[in-house]
Chains A and B, each alone.
Chain A
């Protein structure tokens, strides 16, 4: 019977082609929009983790209390020891040390007089160590526009736009004016090794990068560490895993007082409490570090709602397709009943046909949706020109993200809605009076 029905569908394009196209388009849109939403969410999280917070971050309690002002004078002592401990005890994560700082970048002329001076933000990463994970994470080679990555101590990378603004070229020397952890003004000369495009407008306007060893020397930090970032494998943030790790770590290293109350005000108020080790390491998840938990929850819910609305809307369209298909074949059903086919048989055949159309359309639509999503995932769309004046740390290239759900999410509207449409419209079959069938057909 299935073979018979399939032949009928293929030979009568009105029964197969149009419904399949509608189902295909509906499923395509559903899959693509789902992957697109996941992509935007994932990109924001990845961007934030890569540049700002890692998937988990360790600072001292005191630093955590004033994290917004980068209090490097409140860093953890024995940073190298901490890094070794983390790599030994938590090898499932990749650990990197970062150092953020601010200052004035001073470009000077041949008389060593100030020619231009701009406020900059800086990040120190490990450029010369054996572990290149952090260098890879920043994907600096891709963004390099001129020169090279830092090759030796004293080299820095400068954001391309910043260099243009200050009329600085590769090979120039600049002075960075900052403050040491003791509060003294620190003037340090650096050599501009390369110009880089970060792809994030706020960074492109004001960012420099240097080797963390040079930055520590400039800030007179010795072996202190301000921030140690942990990354899960494959750059995928798992909130449950991160939360469990934070609990374990803080239980081992932190005063129990902080376990239930890590608000910054609370930490900051303990400055004068001699019984609290304010420089003990304290771990937070990326959502708590960047105050993104609420936003993450909101966007996750919003994303789910958008996906649900999309599925529901597609369901209505496809249901209507099923309905139309069955209604359009009102006369055919009547003839088949008139020649003696049972109502149940006609109904079942309608259902099987709708499943066939639904599955076929869904398979093609899912394949098309995945293909388009894959393209958007790999290539992306660059909105950089539209975000030149943006101040948020947003990626300029928007990408989709294919998750396992994308492979089956189209089946809900594609198959179920079509089936439901056919099932509901098909109920009319049982309401037709056999004695009046020929009279209906005459008309």
Chain B
């Protein structure tokens, strides 16, 4: 009997091992879906404040690679013309009201963007997961009727200034989108932010989030919806767009 069990194990184990996906491959596939060479998008951020009132901020954004992007607010009137430029790890904000360009740094990076559940740190912290985190497959789960891999990400040694040192990620098994994330502080137990992809869209071969939901666990409020109204990939963007001088244009 024991011999039979050993026999079965010897012949089935390689098959079981082969069924396990390569974790690095999963991260790579996620990065392929989420990080673009260049893009131009319009989006709406729906923020519900503590009084239960909803604010909708529409914006247009351009991005190039992982670390260069520009966001310009289109509405409401009070926010119109506000621009945020990200060049690598540096974030600049332009206010037409004051005609000033201010660098967002230090503790200001942890402030909320326009009262939403996103922080400026979130805006800067969107490099490739593969470059930032060591991953481990910790299980499987179903989220919004989609079978998911459950990954545990821990920041790689030597990688600094990362907003979330650990993440728990539910990755769609076929579309390779991170449908749900729990983002933790360094200790790995203090939950800081929840993230969900609530609707997806297919553009060419790429699956991309249509509607996302952010909730800063430490803040009061009802969370922030981020809706991508329109997005184009692989667009040509003039280099001038990503300069400080362009902010005042």
Residues of A within 8 A of B (CB): 73-74, 104, 106, 108, 112-114, 175, 177, 179-180, 182-189, 220, 271, 279
Q: Whole-angstrom distance between the alpha carbons of A14 and B111 in the complex?
A: 80
Chain B residues near A184: list those with CB within 8 A.
78-79, 82, 114-115
From A113, A189, A271, contact of B50 by CB (8 A): A271
B32 at the interface (CB under 8 A from A): no
B115 A187 Cβ-Cβ under 8 A: no
Q: Do A112 and B99 contact each other (CB < 8 Å), given the known contacts A184-B79, A271-B50?
A: yes
In the assembled complex, the Cα of A114 lies from the Cα of B50 at a distance in Å of 33
Are the C-beta atoms of B101 and A185 separated by less than 8 Å? Answer: no
Interface size class of B (residues with CB under 8 A): 20 to 34
Q: Which residues of A contact B148 (CB under 8 A)?
A: none
Q: How far is the CA of A160 from the CA of B227 in the complex (A)?
A: 48
Which residues of A are found within 8 Å of B2, using beta-carbon distances?
A: none
Chain B 100-117 interface mask (CB, 8 Å, partner A; 1/0):
111100001001111110
Name B's interface SS.
loop
Contact status B49-A179, CB under 8 Å: no
B155 within 8 A of A: no
By the criterion CB–CB under 8 Å, are A182 and B97 in contact? no
Contact (A271, B220) CB under 8 Å given A114-B103, A183-B49, A185-B93: yes
CA–CA, A83 to B45, complex, Å?
36
Interface centre among B49, B95, B98, B112, by most chain A C-beta atoms within 10 angstroms, is: B98
Q: Chain B residues near A179 (CB, 8 Å)?
A: 111-112, 115
B55 at the interface (CB under 8 A from A): yes
Is the CB of B160 closer than 8 A to any CB of chain A?
no
Cβ–Cβ < 8 Å partners of A188 in chain B: 97-98
B112 contacts which chain A residues (CB < 8 A)? Answer: 179, 183
Contact of A112 with B78 in the complex, beta carbons under 8 Å: no
List the A side residues contacting B93 at CB < 8 Å.
185, 187
B51 at the interface (CB under 8 A from A): yes
Q: Which 6 pairs between the two chains have the least Cβ-Cβ distance? A: A183-B115, A187-B95, A187-B98, A184-B114, A182-B115, A189-B98
**CB distance A106 to B114 under 8 Å?**
no
B47 contacts A by Cβ under 8 Å: yes
Nearest-neighbor residue (CB-CB) of B120 within chain A:
A185
Chain B residues, CB < 8 A from A175: 98, 100, 102
Distance between Cα atoms of A184 and B100 in the complex (Å) = 16
Give chain A residues whose Cβ lies under 8 Å from the Cβ of B113.
Answer: 185
Using CB atoms and an 8 Å cutoff, list the residues of chain B in contact with chain A: 47, 49-51, 55, 78-79, 82, 93, 95, 97-103, 108, 111-116, 220
With A and B bound together, what is the CA distance between A182 and B49 in angstroms?
7
Q: What are the residues of chain A within 8 A of B103 when measuring CB–CB?
A: 114
Which of chain A's residues has its CB closest to B115's CB? A183
Cβ of A185 and Cβ of B49 under 8 Å apart? no
Contact B98 A185 (CB under 8 A): no
A114 to B112, CA, bound (A): 22
Residues of B within 8 Å of A279, CB to CB, are 51
Which of these, A112, A113, A183, contacts B116 with CB under 8 Å? A183
Complex Cα distance, B50 from A274, in Å, reads 13
Q: What is the distance, in angstroms, from B193's C-beta to the closest C-beta of chain A?
A: 16
With A183-B116, A184-B115, A220-B78 in contact, is A112–B101 under 8 Å at CB? yes
Bound Cα distance A414, B227 (Å): 83
Query: Within the assembled complex, what's the spacing in Å between the Cα atoms of A172 and B24?
Result: 56
**Residue of A whose beta carbon sits closest to that of B96:** A187
Q: Are B100 and A189 in contact (CB under 8 A)?
A: yes
Whole-angstrom distance from the CB of A149 to the nearest CB of chain B? 23
Cβ–Cβ < 8 Å partners of A74 in chain B = 50-51
Contacts of B114 in A (CB 8 A): 182-185
Interface centre among A112, A180, A183, A189 (most CB of B within 10 A): A183
CA distance A113 to B102 in the complex (A): 8
Please give 12 more A-B residue pairs, beta carbons under 8 A apart, in addition to A73-B50, A187-B102: A74-B50, A106-B100, A112-B99, A175-B98, A175-B102, A180-B115, A185-B93, A185-B111, A185-B113, A188-B97, A188-B98, A189-B98
Contacts of B50 in A (CB 8 A): 73-74, 271
CA distance A187 to B116 in the complex (A): 18
* Separation of A189 and B82 alpha carbons in the complex (Å): 15
B104 vs chain A, min Cβ distance (A)? 8
